[in-house]
A and B are shown apart, each in its own frame.
Chain A
Amino acid sequence: MSVSHTGTDNPNKGSKSHGVIAGKMLLLACAMFGFGYLMVPLYDIICDITGLNGKTGRVSVTAGLEVPVAQDREITVEFVASINQSGSWIFEPQVKTMTVKPGQLYHASYYAENLSSHAVVAQATPSVTPFAAAKYFNKTECFCFTRQAFEAQGSPKASKDMPLTFIIDPDIPINVDRVTLSYTFFRSPEQT
C-alpha cells in the first residue's frame, strides 16, 4: 500500500496531492447530489416496471386492436373517488362496480362538480390495488391524463362527466378477481 509521502516532511510540499484528493472527493459529493435527483426518474421507472405504488399501466397502443378476450374470466372492478384537500367538490364514479372480461374494452365515467365560487383546475391521480394487478390495468383514455378546468359554481361548466376507457390485460395474474381503481382529486398547484 504505497501512498505518496511528499506531504510529511514539509507540509507545504504536499499541497498539490492534497488538491487532487480533495478534488476527487468534491467530485464524488457533487455526483451524489446529482444521484439524489436521479432517484426521481429512477423511482418512476421502477414503479412503472413493477406496478409498485399502484401506478397503472401505460396507454396501450394495441388496445384498440383485437386482443383475445378471456371469455372464461370475470373480474370485478371497483371505482373509488376521493378528494385531497378540503375543497368544495363533488367527485364520484357514475357506477360503483363493473364486472369485466379481460381483453375487452370498457367505458366508465366519473362526475365532478366545483362547488366553490371561483374557477379551478384539478388533476386526478389514479392508483390500482392490488399492486400486482396495476401493470395489467391499461387505460386508453382517461380524464387523469390531462388537467381538468372547472368554472365557478353556477356556470354550466362547473360540472362535467369525465370519461375513462380501459382494458385489462388477459395476462393478469389468475388469483386476481377484484381490482380497485381509485382516483384522488387534487387542486392543481398553480391554483393555490
Chain B
Amino acid sequence: MSYNDVTHHAADDQDHDHDHAEHGPAPGLMRWVTTTNHKDIGTLYLWFSLIMFFIGGAMALVIRAELFQPGIQIVDPMFFNSMTTMHAIVMIFGVVMPAFVGLANWMIPMMIGAPDMALPRLNNWSFWIMPFAFTIMLATLFMDSGGPAGGWTLYPPLVLQMGDSFAFVIFAIHFLGISSVMGSINIVATIFNMRPPGMTFMKMPMFVWTWLITAYLLIATIPVFAGAVTMLLTDRFFGTSFFSAAGGGDPVMFQHIFWFFGHPEVYILILPAFGIVSSIIPTFARKPLFGYDSMVYATASIAFLSFIVWAHHMFTTGMPLAGELFFMFSTMMISVPTGVKVFNWVATMWRGSMTFETPMLFAIGFVIMFTVGGLSGLMLAITPADIQYHDTYFVVAHFHYVLVPGAIYSLMAATYYWMPKWTGNMYDEKLGKMHFWISTIFVNVLFFPMHFVGLAGMPRRIPDYSLQFADWNMIATIGAFGFGFSQLMFVYIIFKCVRGGDKATSEVWEGARGLEWTVASPAPYHTFETAPVIEPATVTR
C-alpha cells in the first residue's frame, strides 16, 4: 500500500461528498455563527487572529512612536503603560494562541484522516467565546479608569491599584482561559479517538504531536492562571489577603503561581511552531524529517522541563542560593532538547534538494532567528548575569526574537504553506518572497538594537529614557514602522489568494507528504468521512 492508494481513497471521499450535497456549508452569515465544521472554525480562528494582529501591532507602534525620541512626546505615561500591557495580552492570547488553535482545527483532522474534531459543538463555543472576551478586554481602554497598565504579568500590589475596570480584565481572562481549555480538550480527544486504524502515534505528523503536547500544557496550566487571577479578584473586591502583606499574604507568592503558568505558556506559544517548521522543511528539502523520534521526545522533554524552571523569571526576588542554582541549571537544560530540534532541522536540509518558496524562506528564517532568541535566553538563564539584565530591553529583545521571527514567522510560513490547500489557489509567489525579505530586514532593524540598549541598561516598560539610548531607539522605531506596514502586504497577498490565482493541485508542493495533500484543493467541506486505509508503508508524515 502506498501513497497513491491513499489518494485513491480520498477520491472516493469526494464522490461521497457529491452524494450528500446537503452537507455543504449553510448559506449566509449564520453559517459562521452556527458552524460545527472544523474547517469553518479554523478559518474563523485564523481571521480573528489576523485582525488582532493588527490591533496588537497598532499598540506596538504607539509604544515605538513614543520611544522614537527621549522625553514624553505623544502619549501620557499611564496610556503608554496600558499599551505595553495590552500589546502583550493581545499578541499572546489574541494572536499567537488563536492562530495555532485555528491551524490545529484546519489541519489536525486532515493530517490524521479524521472527518472532523471529536467535539464539534464544543469547538464552536471555544471560538465564539473569544471575540466577546476580547471586546470586554479592549473596552477597558475606553473606561474611566483605563485599561490594565501594570504589565501583562498582573503583579500585585500594582495591579490591585487599578480602577474598577480591573474586574473586566479578570473576567475577560477567565473567558479566554475557558476557551483555551475547551479547545485543548477537543484537540486531545480528536488525537486520541479519531485516528483511523493504522495511524499509530509514531505515524502522526510532527504538527499533531506538538499540538498534543501543547494541549496538555494548556489544560495543566491555564487553570492555575485562572486561580491566580481569581485570587487577585477576591483580594481586590472580597477582602481576602492572598497577596496583601497586611493580611498575612505575600505578593511574591503571586509571582510563583503566575510563572508556574507563565513558563509553560511560553512553550505553548512555540511548540506548535516547531511542529509547523518540522512539516515545512522536509517538504522543501525533499527529504523526510531527520530524527523524527528524537523530535517527539525532545518536544515531550521541553514540555516536562517547562514545569520546573518558572522561578528563572524571579531571580531578583531574593531566592536562596540553592533555589537560584536549581532554576539556573534546569533552565539551561532546556537548551538540550531545543538544540536537538535545531540540529534535526539543519540535518533535514543537509544535502536535500532544496527550493526556496515563501513557506521555506519563513521556516529557515524561523530556525535562524529563533536560535538567536534562544541564545539570548541562555544568557538570561545565568543567574548572576540575569540580575543585571532583568527588566531591561535585553529581555524585550530576547522574547521578541523567539516570538516574532519565531512564533509569528511560523504562522506566516504555515499560512503560505497551507493556503493553497485552503483556498485552492496559489498565492503570488513573487509578492510572498518580497514580504519575507522586507519583513526579515525590518524585524532585525526593530529588535536587534534592543540587545544593545538593554545591555547598556535601558529599563523596559518606561516611556522615557536617558539620552545615550536615543540612537538605537530611533533605529528600532524605524524598524517597527517598516515591519508593521509591510504586514499590509501579507493581508493583500491573502486576499489576492482567496479571490483567485493559479489553481493548486491536490499535492500543491512537489515534496509534500501527509494525508492533507491527498485531498483535493481547495479541501472539500467534508474530508475523510470514510476512514482512509493506512498500511504500515503509507507515508503519513
Chain A interface (Cβ < 8 Å from any Cβ of B): 1, 3-9, 11, 14, 17-18, 21-22, 25-26, 28-30, 32-37, 39-40, 43, 47, 50, 52-53, 84, 123, 125, 131-132, 184, 186-190
Instruction: Give A4 to B185 CA distance when docked, in angstroms.
Output: 17
Number of interface residues, chain B, beta carbon within 8 A: 53
Minimum CB–CB distance from B370 to chain A (whole Å) comes to: 28
B457 to chain A: which residues have CB within 8 Å? Answer: none
| CB within 8 Å for A21 and B189 given contacts A8-B194, A29-B223 | yes
Instruction: Give A26 to B247 CA distance when docked, in angstroms.
Output: 33
Q: Determine if B246 and A189 form an interchain contact, defined as CB atoms under 8 angstroms apart.
A: yes
B146 at the interface (CB under 8 A from A): no
Minimum CB–CB distance from A121 to chain B (whole Å) comes to: 10
Q: Which of the listed residues A40, A84, A125 has the most CB atoms from chain B within 10 Å of its own CB? A: A40
A184 to chain B: which residues have CB within 8 Å? Answer: 245
Q: Determine if B257 and A32 form an interchain contact, defined as CB atoms under 8 angstroms apart.
A: no
B116 to chain A: which residues have CB within 8 Å? Answer: 11
| CB within 8 Å for A40 and B197 given contacts A25-B184, A53-B252 | no
Q: Determine if A36 and B228 form an interchain contact, defined as CB atoms under 8 angstroms apart.
A: yes
Q: Determine if A17 and B185 form an interchain contact, defined as CB atoms under 8 angstroms apart.
A: no
- By beta carbon, the residue of chain B nearest A2 is B200
B192 at the interface (CB under 8 A from A): yes
Stretch at the interface among B9-17, B89-97, B214-222, B502-510: B214-222
A33 to chain B: which residues have CB within 8 Å? Answer: 223-224, 226-227
A47 to chain B: which residues have CB within 8 Å? Answer: 250
A34 to chain B: which residues have CB within 8 Å? Answer: 227
- By beta carbon, the residue of chain A nearest B319 is A52
Listed by A's residue number, 24 A-B pairs whose Cβ atoms lie within 8 Å are A8-B194, A11-B115, A14-B118, A14-B194, A17-B193, A18-B193, A21-B193, A25-B185, A25-B219, A29-B185, A33-B227, A35-B224, A36-B223, A39-B253, A40-B242, A43-B250, A43-B253, A47-B250, A50-B320, A52-B320, A53-B250, A84-B246, A187-B246, A189-B244
Q: Determine if B247 and A189 form an interchain contact, defined as CB atoms under 8 angstroms apart.
A: yes
Contact residues of A: prevailing secondary structure? helix
Within residues 200 to 233 of chain B, which ones have a CB less than 8 A from any CB in chain A? 200-202, 219-228, 231
Contact residue among B193, B202, B221, B241 (Cβ-Cβ distance under 8 Å from A4): B193
Closest 4 CB pairs of A and B: A36-B227, A186-B246, A33-B223, A36-B224
A131 to chain B: which residues have CB within 8 Å? Answer: 318, 320
Q: Determine if A84 and B245 form an interchain contact, defined as CB atoms under 8 angstroms apart.
A: yes
A36 to chain B: which residues have CB within 8 Å? Answer: 223-228, 231, 257, 260
- By beta carbon, the residue of chain B nearest A190 is B239
A8 to chain B: which residues have CB within 8 Å? Answer: 113-115, 194-197, 531
Instruction: Give A125 to B248 CA distance when docked, in angstroms.
Output: 7
- By beta carbon, the residue of chain B nearest A43 is B253
Minimum CB–CB distance from B211 to chain A (whole Å) comes to: 14
